[in-house]
Structure 1
Amino acid sequence: MSKFNQNLTPKEYVSHHLKNLQIDLSTLKLVENQSNSFWILNIDSLFFSVLIGIVAFFLFYQVSKSMTSGVPNKCQSAVELLIEFININVKDIFGFKKNNLIAPLSFTIFIWIFCMNFMDLIPIDIIPYIVEKKFNISSFRIVPTSDINTTLSIGIGVFALIVYFNFQVKGAKCFFQELIFHPFNNYFFIPINLLLESVNLLSKPISLSLRLFGNIYSGELIFILISGFIPWWMQWILSVPWAIFHILVIILQAFIFMILTIVYLSMASEKVHKK
C-alpha cells in the first residue's frame, strides 16, 4: 500500500480514491459523503476539466505565436503533424461537405480528452495527499474522464451538435420525417419507426460517454488496486508496465471519440435526396 495511506485498510483505500469532492448547490457547502442528488456537482472534475482546457489552449497559443514559415522547430513540427493528421481524417470521413467547425472541433476534442486522460498517469496519491494536507479535504479525484458526469457532458454537447446539423442541413420538416418514416416508409409503422430512430439517436451520446468513461475508469481502478494491495517499494513492477500500456489506451480513446464525433456529424450533414 502507498506509504501515504498506511492507516487505511485496502477496502477503505480503494473507496477513498473513488470519491469525488462535491458541493451541494442548494446549500453551497462541500459534501463529505457521496450524494446522488441532482443539485450536487463534482467540483474536482470541473476544476481539472477547465484547468486542463486552459493550459492546453495557452500552450497551443504560445506555439502559434512562435510559428515560422522557415525551418520549424520540434514543437511546431509536432503540432503541424497533429493538425495534418486530424485534417486527413476529417476529409476522409466528412468528405467534400463544407463546414468550418468540424476540423477545429475535432482538434479540440482530441487534445482536451487526451489531456484529461493523461492525468491518469500521474501517481494517484501525490495530488490527493497534497490537497488533504494543505486543505484538509479527503475526497479528491484528478482524472475528469473517469467521472461519468464529465464524459456524459461531452457526449451531450456532441448530441446537441448532431441535432443542430440535422436542422441546419435537412430542415426541421425533413428531420422529423426521417424519425417517423425510417426505416419503414409507411404510416402504419410510425410508432415503431419513432421508437427505433429515437433509440438510434440517443445511443450516440450514451455510447460515446460510456466507452470513454469505462476505459479510463478501469485504468484508474487498476492503478488504485496496485497501490492499495502492493507495498509501495514494489509497485513499480506492475505500475510501470501498466502505465506504458495505458498510454496507448488514453490516446486510442481520445482518437475514437474524435472519429465517432466526425462520423456522427457527417451523417447529420447528409442532405436528403428526394425521389
Structure 2
Amino acid sequence: MSEQTGSGGLNEYIQHHLQQNTIELGGGAFHIDTWAVSLVLGLFFIGWFAFFARKATAGVPSKGQAFVEIILEFIDGQVKDSFHGDRRSITPLALTIFMWVVLMNGMDLLPLDLPGWVVKATAGAEVAQHTYFRWVPTADLNTTLALSTVVFFLILWHSIKAKGGFGFGKELLTAPFHAHSTGAKLALAPANLGLNVIEYLVKPVSLAMRLFGNMYGGELVFMLIAGLLGGGLLMFVPGVIFNAAWALFHILIVLLQAFIFMILTVVYIAGAYESH
C-alpha cells in the first residue's frame, strides 16, 4: 500500500487503494482481504458478546455489560416495532446484522495507509508498493451482495414457513392482480409471477447497492482527502481539517447504513407473513 508520493500522483494512489488482494479460486478472483477482515470482525463480535453474556449478573452491571445490554435492548425494541410474531430468532439475526455491518463499516474510519505502513515497516518499500489490501469489506460489492443474498433466502424461507409451499406458490401466481374465474386467473398468472419475481429480487439488490454505494463513496472521499495530505505543507493543514470533519460525519453514515440494512431485513421478513 504505497503512499501518495509516487510519480503517478493522486490518480495512481486511488487506483492502488482500490485494488483487492486476490487469489484465483474456482476460475474466479477470491478477495482475501475482504474475507479475512469480515471473518476477524465476525469472530470479534461473537467473542465480545459471548464474554459479557457469560459474565452477566443480575446486580449492578459493569460498564461493558451495560453497553451490550443497551445495544441488545435497542435492537429488540426495533424488531418488536416491525415484527409482531415470535422474535426469538429475528432479534439475534437483527443484532448480528447490525453489529457485523457496523464493525465492517467502521474500518473506514481507520487510517487509510495503515496496512501499507505496516508492510513497509516489516517488508520494505518495494514489497509495500506491490501489496494490495482493502480493509473495508462493505466497500466490496461481493460482501454486500453476499449479505443481501442470505437475506433473500431468509425471506423465501419465512414466506414458505408462514404460507406453506402450496400457499406461497399460489400467491406468486394470483397476487397482486386477483381474479375470480379460472380463465382470468390463468391469464393473469404470468403477469403476477413476473411482478412478484421482480419484487423479491429488488429487495436484495437494493439492500446490497445502498450499503455498497455509501461505503464505496465514503472510501473515495477519504482517498481524495489523503491526496491533500500528500500535497505538501500548504495543503496539509486543510487536509487534516477536512479529514477530521469527514470522519465525524462518516460515523453517522457507518451507523445509519448498518441500521437501515438491519431494519429493512426485519421489515422484509415481517412482510413474508402478510398476504397480498
TM-score under structure 1 length normalisation: 0.89
Q: Partners of 1:49 and 1:22 in 2: how far apart? A: 15
Shifted more, 186-195 versus 149-158: the winner is: 186-195
Q: Which runs of 4+ in 1 moved over 6 A?
A: none
In the alignment, which residue of structure 2 is the partner of 1:78? 67
Please report how far the alpha carbon of residue 78 of structure 1 lies from its aligned counterpart in structure 2 after TM superposition: 1.3
1:251 to 251, 255, 265: 255
1:49–1:144 Cα contact (<8 Å) kept: yes
1:128–1:141 Cα contact (<8 Å) kept: no
The amino acid across from 1:259 in the alignment is I
2:83–2:266 Cα contact (<8 Å) kept: yes
- Tell me the alpha carbon deviations over residues 199-238 of structure 1, each in whole angstroms, 9 at most, x when there is no partner: 0000111011000000011001100011024437332110
2:23 matches 1:23: yes
Please report how far the alpha carbon of residue 269 of structure 1 lies from its aligned counterpart in structure 2 after TM superposition: 2.5
Aligned pairs (5 A) from 1:215-230: 215-230=214-229
The amino acid across from 1:221 in the alignment is L
Q: Partners of 1:99 and 1:117 in 2: how far apart? A: 26
Q: Partners of 1:3 and 1:202 in 2: how far apart? A: 40
In the alignment, which residue of structure 1 is the partner of 2:182? none
Aligned pairs (5 A) from 1:123-142: 123-131=111-119, 134=122, 136=127, 137-142=130-135
Please report how far the alpha carbon of residue 65 of structure 1 lies from its aligned counterpart in structure 2 after TM superposition: 2.4
Please report how far the alpha carbon of residue 100 of structure 1 lies from its aligned counterpart in structure 2 after TM superposition: 2.0
Aligned pairs (5 A) from 1:227-246: 227-230=226-229, 231=231, 233-234=236-237, 235-246=239-250
Q: Partners of 1:223 and 1:111 in 2: how far apart? A: 23
SS in 2 for 1:265: helix
Unaligned runs of 5+ in 2: 179-184
Please report how far the alpha carbon of residue 13 of structure 1 lies from its aligned counterpart in structure 2 after TM superposition: 0.4
Aligned pairs (5 A) from 1:13-52: 13-26=13-26, 39-52=28-41
In the alignment, which residue of structure 2 is the partner of 1:211? 210
Aligned pairs (5 A) from 1:89-168: 89-95=78-84, 97-131=85-119, 134=122, 136=127, 137-168=130-161
Alignment root-mean-square deviation, CA: 1.9
Q: % of aligned pairs identical?
A: 41
Q: Partners of 2:196 and 2:243 in 1: how far apart? A: 44
Q: Partners of 2:171 and 2:117 in 1: how far apart? A: 53
The amino acid across from 1:25 in the alignment is L
The amino acid across from 1:140 in the alignment is F
TM-score under structure 2 length normalisation: 0.89
SS in 1 for 2:88: coil
Please report how far the alpha carbon of residue 187 of structure 1 lies from its aligned counterpart in structure 2 after TM superposition: 2.2
Q: Partners of 1:239 and 1:6 in 2: how far apart? A: 18
Change (3 A) 1:132 1:39: farther
In the alignment, which residue of structure 1 is the partner of 2:181? none
2:196 matches 1:197: yes
Please report how far the alpha carbon of residue 133 of structure 1 lies from its aligned counterpart in structure 2 after TM superposition: 5.3
Please report how far the alpha carbon of residue 66 of structure 1 lies from its aligned counterpart in structure 2 after TM superposition: 2.2
1:132–1:138 Cα contact (<8 Å) kept: no
1:180–1:191 Cα contact (<8 Å) kept: yes
Q: Partners of 1:99 and 1:129 in 2: how far apart? A: 45
2:269 matches 1:265: yes
- Tell me the alpha carbon deviations over residues 162-204 of structure 1, each in whole angstroms, 9 at most, x when there is no partner: 1111111111111111111111123211111111111000011
Q: Partners of 1:87 and 1:110 in 2: how far apart? A: 12
Shifted more, 149-158 versus 224-233: the winner is: 224-233
